[in-house]
Each structure stands twice: as C-alpha cells, then as structure tokens.
Chain A
Amino acid sequence: MDAQAIIAKRIARELRSGMLVNLGIGIPTLVANYLPEGVNVFFQSENGLIGTGPIPEEGMGHPTLTDAGGSPVTALPGASTFDSATSFGLIRGGHLDLTVLGGLQVDAQGHLANWMIPGKMVPGMGGAMDLVTGAKRVIIAMQHTAKGKPKILEKCTLPLTSARPVDLVVSEMAVIGFPGGRATLLETAPGVSVDQVLAATEARLATPENVVEMPL
C-alpha cells in the first residue's frame, strides 16, 4: 500500500454512519474510497452540495453538478443543494461532524498551517479557515515529511489556518493526537518503529507505553 492509501484507509475508520463530512482536495478526497462496509455518511462539497457521489462516467457529467474544484461529480439519492451562505453556515455553525484536510505544517499544540507559503504560493484560504474553525472534529491527512524534512514541528513557521488546534494527524508513519494540548504518538504504521517516527518528527512527541499498530 502506498503512503496515500495508508493515510486514507486509516482515516476512513474514523467515519460513522450519519456523519456530515467535508473532504479537502488531495489525499482527503481518497478517504471516500475506503468507507468501511455498512457505514453511510453525508459528504458535503462546500460549493453547495450534500450527498456528493463518485466521479460520473465519461460523458455523463453535467456542467451544474461539480465539486469544489469545478470538476463533475454525481449526487447520491437524498442529496441536497444550497447556496454558499448555507454551505458555510453548515461548516461554521457546528453542523459539520468532521473535516479531513491536507496540511503543510502542524505544530506541537496541534496548530495547522495549510493555506500559503509567503512569497511562493498564495492561493487564498478558500474554505480552509472556516472548516478548521467550525468543524466539530478536524483530521489532517498528510505525508509525515516533505523532501525529507519534518512537517510536524515544535512551532509552525508558515501562517496559521486557525487558532483552533486540530484533533488528529494521520500520516503514512503514525497517528498523532493532542490530548491535553500536547502532541502525542497514538499509533505507528505496520513496520514503522516509535524511534523512526520520532526521528522524522521535529515536535517533541509524548510517547505513552501503549502505542499501538495502526489498524488498516
């Protein structure tokens, strides 16, 4: 299994029937492919859709049914559509159970930076700040390092997405939580040791006795 598949498959285990879930672009989108059997969730697309389905077959897309990147999607039975004010009311108003987003950096307190690299990449925050501020639970799906450099740092060097800390970081090496506001190693991926995770992480990680293997 490649790194992205490990991350997406592990996060899919966090989904429960009836949840309203918003998946960001990139690895988070893959989570929908690993939904456990019998689990039915509502996927929201912030451009105004609940009940987002798979990509349509070739030639079956419609120009008014798209994801947040403007690409064609389908709508599942029971889907609903609404304007952007309602969409972000759902996000900020405590109605969204879970968002899964990509990350550039996460720090020891769980603060996320994922929307800009000053001087290099200024795409705009889109819905990311509202999602991290408003969702009941925030999970970050990201590779543990970028070009060999740790992404989980003592303190973020990039501009933060929100003052609200995230709940869980899932990488291809580990699952990290923030109980009591402190980065804590909860799980290691199969074949990955605690020492390997610590070596690839700049933030000081609390390592309890009972770090378990990531269930996949």
Chain B
Amino acid sequence: MKTITVQEAASMIPDGASLMVGGFMGVGTPHRLIDELVRQGRRDLIVIANDNAKPGVGIGKLVDAGRVARTIASHIGLNPETQRQMISGQMAVDLVPQGTLIERIRAGGYGLGGILTPTGVGTVVEEGKRKIEIEGKAYLIETALRADFALVHAFLADYTGNLSYALTARNFNPVIAMAADTVIATADNIVPVGLIAPDHVVTPAAIVDYLVANR
C-alpha cells in the first residue's frame, strides 16, 4: 500500500476507465476523489455503482459534468440528469436489480464466473440471459463484474491500509474493494496501526493499493 495525494490518485485514472464507486445515494462515496476527477477533466468513464446519487452529490457530479459514458446501476430514479442523458443517448445505462448487481461484483472479486439468481425470472431482466433449472426452480445466469479501479470510502484506515466502515456508509465498499485491478481508498480518519482491532478490519490492507492522504 502506498499513500498518495488526492491529485495523484485521480491522475492515475485514465479517460475511459471503468470505476466501481462505493456509496448509496452518496453515503459512503469517496467524495474527494470524485471532485478531483471532475476537476482534472477525466471523461468517458464507465461507472459501476448502486446508484447515481443526485445532481450535485457524489457520482451525480460526474454525471452533471457529462463525464460518464456508461453506468451500471440499480437505481437512477433520484437523478433526473442521468435519466435525461440516458433518453438523449449521451449516456448508456444498464439497470440491474440491486441484489444481482452486488452479487455480480462479489463474484468478480471472489474468482467466480457469475451467479445464479431467481431475481428477474419472468421479467424483462431475463432477456438475452441463460436460464437454468435446479431442483425445479428457475434461475438466471448473471455474469461476474470487475473494474479497472475501485474507489472506496472507509470510516477508519490505518497506516497500512486496513479499512473499517461506519453504519450505512459500508454498503458496496467492502465488496467493490475485492473486484478491481487497482483499489484506491479514502477515509474519514487515518489512524495509527493497531487502533483498528484485527477483528474489526473489514477490508484487509493487503488488497488496498493506495490510500489517499487526508488534508
């Protein structure tokens, strides 16, 4: 793990990169990284996240600035700008049931080719997907998802990069941290090693590539 500035972190991410971004309606999103990506003018990004937050918040800022070419999300209902760009054809949007999205990401991080889920059977979600029956019950084959970068936000990070999360700001964060080639973390608090008890480490430092220094 290497400690870097937020400017260095954002500059590692090229135009066109695929990003998994933690957060649920902006709660648990690495806001400083998003702001810096917008400031540095990064574009044509593929954003995989639960939602697109709302205009002016978190991922919504990338959308506002027209920097997202494609998003894979479960819910965009609170971001009218995403819906506008989807309808105008400016942004591609893949809508995925929330439980399926998180499991596809988990599969990507856990070395699985995909998952079998009953969610979506008999709906438009099953279009173009393989369906199999196991012990009389129908399941869809949903393929694994990975990304170039995971942008993770934690409550605590220690100097080695161990992470723990706070309350509902955990959401997608520990799962995306397993599913990307490069993991960049921000944290509300960076603390000395030992202050996060081993039992309370949720994301082990060994998989965190970069920790963004606090101001």
Residues of chain A having any CB pair with chain B under 8 Å: 45-49, 62-66, 68-70, 75, 81-85, 87-88, 91-92, 121-130, 133-134, 159-163
Contact = CB atoms under 8 A, between A and B. Distances in A.
Given A75-B167, A88-B103, A124 B75 contact: yes
B75 A126 contact: yes
Nearest to B80: A123
Interface residues of B, number: 47
Contact of B121 (A88, A121, A163): A163
A84 B121 contact: no
Interface stretch (B7-15, B38-46, B168-176, B205-213): B168-176
Given A47-B171, A84-B172, A91-B99, A163 B123 contact: yes
A92 to B, nearest CB: 5
Interface stretch (B24-32, B62-70, B143-151, B192-200): B24-32
B22 to A, nearest CB: 10
Contacts of A126: 51, 74-75, 77, 97-98
B166 interface: yes
B119 A130 contact: yes
A92 B99 CA distance: 8
Contacts of B174: 83
B73 to A, nearest CB: 6
Contact of B99 (A48, A64, A121, A127): A127
B77 A124 contact: yes
A81 B122 contact: no
A81 B170 contact: yes
Contacts of A125: 74-75, 95, 97-98, 125
Contacts of B120: 129, 133
Interface in B144-192: 155, 165-175
A64 B75 contact: no
A64 B28 contact: yes
Contacts of A128: 97
B58 to A, nearest CB: 10
B77 A159 contact: no
Interface string B87-120: 0000000010111101100100000000001111
A91 to B, nearest CB: 6
Contact of A85 (B24, B54, B95, B103): B103
